[in-house]
Amino acid sequence: MKTLSNLKTAARGRCAVNVLRLASNVADAETITIGSDVYEIDTAADPGAITAGRIRVNCSAGITPTVASAAIVAAINASNQYKLTAVAISVNEVLIFTQTGDSSSLTLACSETLGGANNAWMGAAMCCGQVSPESVAMGQRVPTAQEVAIGNMHWVFPFTLGSAIAIVRVTATGVVKAWDGATTISGRRVTLDNAGSTDWAATDTVTVVASS
Task: Check pLDDT > 50 for residue 2.
Answer: no
pTM, two decimals, is 0.66
Q: Using one digit for the tens of pLDDT, what is the confidence trace for 46-57? A: 999 999 999 999
Return the pLDDT at 102: 56
Question: What is the separation, in whole angstroms, between the first and last Cα of the chain?
Answer: 18
Mean pLDDT computed over 126-143: 80
2-7+132-211 architecture in CATH?
A: Sandwich (2.60)
**What pLDDT digit, counting tens, does each position of 4-13 carry?**
344 444 445 5
Give the tens place of pLDDT for each residue, 70-106: 999 999 999 999 989 999 999 999 999 987 655 556 6
Domain boundaries, the chain: 2-7+132-211, 17-128
